[in-house]
């Protein structure tokens, strides 16, 4: 029996992943590496769509690899690699751009939001074509499942549309992938502003829980998380977005259901509940941060894992690219 293929990617744009990255995506990556043929990619080319510093780029790519390993990605089970080390991503990316309508690409809400914020003069063309490179990342591996957070849903839809369009025009070439998006936890909110998505590119930082931050910092942030009117700890995302977000976080990390948590904190105040959430998050992240710091002490080992991953990824990617070129009538 051949295993279903899984692929996902994460940008190395920060010194740390945040809890949204983990709960919305990477936690599922770890689960899916068992029983699937999984490919996980640090998408450094996507990170170039905004201003970057070469020294930080290298450092953050290695920090990303260390964190993914510390969070449970195993190089024996999954193929972990860096996007720029597999040139087929750029090659298929061009084909994807040639299959996407300008209007279709203009409707991508992430592009619209980000370009509106920075203005057309500073927005890079790469930010506009970013979803087509993402489609290439996915389709190169004949991917069945793409574990991502809610904010990537529209990009997966675009990928499916491009794959179907290509297949019907040029013959069956790509597996049409499906998003693997959780019902709860696919969107983790900023704990200081619980109506906004937890994000490394927006917010003040006070509401961002980072994996590589010290336990003391995270403890302080969670204890000062914004809560809502009233005093009952109940899940109600419309009227109690702050408490609902904290319930989602606690439940995802402790493995207890939201119902159980509501019962436990029945009659207790927000203060007790926040202390409990802080304890769960800090103790969950403590060994992960230590492990990542330990892995970062041996850069050569990390680079070796990534090179081995890139070789395995290339073997699959080059086959898909060849089939694509052939079906397009390019002379091989
Ligand atoms: P990126 O690097 O912004 O985020 C990585 C993953 O984290 C998820 N995520 C969240 N989930 C829940 N709540 C949040 N607050 C939150 N913030 C981020 C994202 O949905 C994502 O799954 N375009 C992608 C990277 C990419 C990719 C790919 C993904 C490039 N090629 C191919 C899948 C397949 C991105 O920018 O993710």
Task: Report residue 60 as tokens.
Answer: 């953050």
Phi, psi of 80 (to 5 degrees): -110, 125
Question: What ligand 1 atom has the least distance to the C-alpha of 198?
Answer: 15
**pLDDT at 16 (0 to 100):** 97
For 146-169, the pLDDT digits (tens) are 999 999 999 999 999 999 999 999
CATH 1.20.1260.10 fits 203-291, yes or no: no
Active-site annotation holds for 187: no
d(C-alpha 157, C-alpha 269), whole Å: 42
Question: Is the C-beta atom of 152 inside 6 A of ligand 1?
Answer: yes
Which residues are paired to 80 by β-bridges?
40
Give the least confident one: 191-205, 249-263, 303-317. Answer: 191-205
Q: Give the 3-state secondary structure of residue 121.
A: coil
For 187-244, the pLDDT digits (tens) are 999 999 999 999 987 767 899 999 999 999 999 999 999 998 888 999 999 999 999 9
Pick the catalytic residue from 27, 114, 187, 240. Answer: 114
Task: Report residue 247 as tokens.
Answer: 């319930």
Span 3-183+298-326: which CATH code?
Answer: 3.40.50.620
Atom 34, ligand 1: residue with shortest CA distance: 8
When computed from its CA atoms, the radius of gyration of the chain, rounded to whole angstroms, is: 21
Active-site annotation holds for 200: yes
| Residue linked to tokens 């119902």 | 259
d(C-alpha 186, C-alpha 263), whole Å: 24
Residue 121 pLDDT > 90, yes or no?
A: no
- Tell me which of 8, 18, 25, 159 to substitute to probe ligand 1's pocket, judged by most ligand atoms within 8 Å of the beta carbon: 25
Where in the chain are the domains? 3-183+298-326, 203-291
pTM value surpassing 0.95? yes
Contact 83, 41 (CB under 8 A): yes
Pick the catalytic residue from 200, 312, 319, 326. Answer: 200
Atom 16, ligand 1: residue with shortest CA distance: 20
| Residue linked to tokens 């419309």 | 238
Convert 4-15 to b/e letters by CB count within 10 Å (16 or more is b): ebbbbbbbbbbb
């Amino acid at each position: 029996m051949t295993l279903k293929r899984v692929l996902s990617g994460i940008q190395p744009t920060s010194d740390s992943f945040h809890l949204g990255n983990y709960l919305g995506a990477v936690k599922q990556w770890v689960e899916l590496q068992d029983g699937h043929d999984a490919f996980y990619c640090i998408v450094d080319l996507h990170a170039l769509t905004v201003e970057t510093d070469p020294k930080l780029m290298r450092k953050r790519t290695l920090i990303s690899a260390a964190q993914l390993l510390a969070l449970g990605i195993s190089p024996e089970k999954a193929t972990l690699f860096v996007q720029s080390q597999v040139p087929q991503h750029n090659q298929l990316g061009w084909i994807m751009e040639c299959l996407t309508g300008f209007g279709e690409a203009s409707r991508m809400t992430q592009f619209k939001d980000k370009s509106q914020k920075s203005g057309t003069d500073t927005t890079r063309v790469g930010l506009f074509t970013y979803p087509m490179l993402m489609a290439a990342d996915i389709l190169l591996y004949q991917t069945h499942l793409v574990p991502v957070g809610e904010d990537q849903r529209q990009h997966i839809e675009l990928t499916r549309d491009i794959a179907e369009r290509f297949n019907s025009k040029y013959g069956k070439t790509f597996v049409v992938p499906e998003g693997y998006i959780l019902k709860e936890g696919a969107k983790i909110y900023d704990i200081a502003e619980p109506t906004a998505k937890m994000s490394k590119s927006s917010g003040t930082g006070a509401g961002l829980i980072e994996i590589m931050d010290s336990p003391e910092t995270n403890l302080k942030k969670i204890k000062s998380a914004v809560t809502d009117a009233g005093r009952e700890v109940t899940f109600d995302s419309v009227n109690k977005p702050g408490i609902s977000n904290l319930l989602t976080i606690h439940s995802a990390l402790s493995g207890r259901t939201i119902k159980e948590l509501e019962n436990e904190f029945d009659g207790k105040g927000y203060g007790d509940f926040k202390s409990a959430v802080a304890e769960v998050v800090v103790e969950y992240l403590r060994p992960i941060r230590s492990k990542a710091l330990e892995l970062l002490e041996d850069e050569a080992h990390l680079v070796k894992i990534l090179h081995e991953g890139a070789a395995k990824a290339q073997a699959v990617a080059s086959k898909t690219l060849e089939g694509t070129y052939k079906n397009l009538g390019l002379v091989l």
